[in-house]
Amino acid sequence: MLSSEESENLGFFNVDDISELIGMKRGAIYAAISRGKDGTDIPPSVTFGRKRRWRKVDYIEWERKLD
């Protein structure tokens, strides 16, 4: 399993990073995921075991689609 530092070095954001970038609280992000809005209301994410991460390239692409 990747540590937080390893995932950051590989080009991933954690939930706190995404929360700050998109201006949503952690709970709202996880609620969006449970509603199936991963990739629409929030950037698409991937899981590593029980940890959820967001690829930086996916975040950039998601943000471009908003404009």
**pLDDT of res. 67:** 80
Query: Mean of the per-residue pLDDT values for the chain?
Result: 89
12, 54 contact by CB (below 8 A): yes
Does residue 18 register a pLDDT over 90? yes
Instruction: Report percent pLDDT > 70 for the chain.
Output: 87
DSSP readout, 2-66?
Answer: --HHHHHHTTEE-HHHHHHHHT--HHHHHHHHHTT-BTTTB---EEETTEEEEEHHHHHHHHHHH
Instruction: Give me the number of domains the chain comprises.
Output: 1
Please give the Cα distance from 48 to 41 (Å, whole number): 21
Tens of pLDDT, residue by residue over 26-51, are 999 999 999 999 999 999 999 989 99
- Taking the complete model, does pTM exceed 0.75, yes or no? yes
Q: Calculate mean pLDDT across residues 10-28.
A: 95
Q: Containing domain of residue 59, as a range?
A: 4-66
| Closest C-alpha to 59, from 7, 31, 15, 18 | 18
